[in-house]
Structure 1
Amino acid sequence: MSPRDWNASSYHDLSTPHQGWGRQVLDRLVLRGDETVLDAGCGTGRITQQLLDRWPGVRAVAVDGSPAMAQRARENLDPQRVTVLCQDLVALELAEPAGAAISTATFHWIADHDALFARLHDALVPGAPAVAQYGGAGNVARLEAILREVGGREPFAPALGGWPGPWNYQTPEATAQRLDRAGFDVQDCWLNPDPVVPEHPRDFLESVVLGAHLDRLDAELRPAYVDAVLAELGEPAELDYVRLNWIARRR
Structure 2
Amino acid sequence: MPREWNARSYDSLPLPHQHWGTRVLEQVTLTGAEHVLDAGAGTGRDTAALLERLPRGRVTAVDASDRMLEVLQEKINDPRLDSYKHDLTQPLHLPSLVDACISIATFHWIADHEVLFANIADAMRPGGQFVAECGGSGNVARVDAAVAATLGDRQDGAVWHFADEGDTRSRLEAAGFTDIQVRLRPDPAKLEEGEQFEAFLATVILGGHLLKLDESEHEGFVKEVAARIGEPVVDYVRLEFNARKA
Band of TM-score, shorter chain = over 0.9
- Whole-angstrom distance in 2 between the partners of 1:137 and 1:85: 30
The answer to whether the 8 Å contact 1:190/1:246 transfers is yes
More displaced stretch, 174-183 vs 50-59: 50-59
Q: Is the 8 Å Cα contact of residues 169 and 180 (structure 2) preserved in structure 1?
A: no
Aligned pairs, how many? 242
Map residues 45-64 of structure 1 onto 2, 5 A cutoff: 45-64=44-63
Give distance in 2, aligned partners of 1:207 and 1:33: 34
- RMSD of the alignment, in Å? 1.2
* Residue matched to 2:121: 121
Task: Identify the residue that residue 81 of structure 1 maps to in structure 2.
Answer: 80
Letter in 2 for 1:246: F
Q: Distance in 2 between matches of 1:198 and 1:81?
A: 36
2:94 and 2:151 map into 1 onto residues whose CA distance is 40
Equivalent residue number for residue 224 of structure 1? 220
Work out the CA distance in 2 between the residues paired with 1:170 and 1:143. Answer: 17
- One-letter amino acid of the structure 2 residue matched with residue 164 of structure 1: G
More divergent stretch after superposition (110-119 vs 91-100): 91-100
Matches within 5 A, 1:83-102: 83-91=82-90, 92-102=92-102
Residues 93 and 123 in structure 2, CA contact (< 8 A), matched pair in contact too: yes
8 Å Cα contact 1:179-1:186 kept in structure 2: no
- Residue 110 of structure 1 corresponds to which residue in structure 2? 110
Deviation for aligned residue 1:17: 0.6
Q: What's the TM-score, normalizing by structure 1? A: 0.93
| Residues 211-241 of structure 1, C-alpha deviations (whole Å, 9 max, x = no match) | 1111111111111101100111113x11110
Distance 1:162 1:150 in 2: 9
List per-residue Cα deviations over 1:93-140 (Å, max 9, x = no partner).
Answer: 222111100000000000100000010001111110010000000101
Question: 1:15, 1:208 within 8 Å by CA — same for their partners in 2?
Answer: no
- Per-residue CA deviations over 1:60-92 (Å, capped at 9, x if unaligned) read 000000111112111111230110010001113
The 3-state SS of whatever aligns with 2:183 is strand
Shift in Å, 1:16: 2.2
Gaps of 5+ in 1: none
Cα distance in 2, alignment partners of residues 4 and 246 from structure 1: 24
Question: Which residue pairs with 2:183 in the alignment?
Answer: 190
The within-5 A match list for 1:1-251 is: 2-14=1-13, 16-91=15-90, 92-152=92-152, 157=153, 161-199=154-192, 200-235=196-231, 237-251=232-246
Offset, 1:25: 0.1
Distance 1:15 1:122, change over 3 A: farther
Q: Percent identity?
A: 44
Deviations 1:189-222 (A, max 9, x none): 0001000013421111111111111111111111
Structure 2 length as normaliser, TM-score?
0.95
* TM-aligned CA distance change 1:172 to 1:186, over 3 Å: farther
Cα distance, 1:45 vs structure 2: 0.4
Asked if the contact 1:41–1:64 (Cα under 8 Å) also holds between the matched residues in 2, the reply is: yes
Q: CA deviation at 1:58?
A: 2.9
- Residue 211 of structure 2: SS of its match in structure 1? helix
Contact 2:34 2:54 in 1 (8 A): no
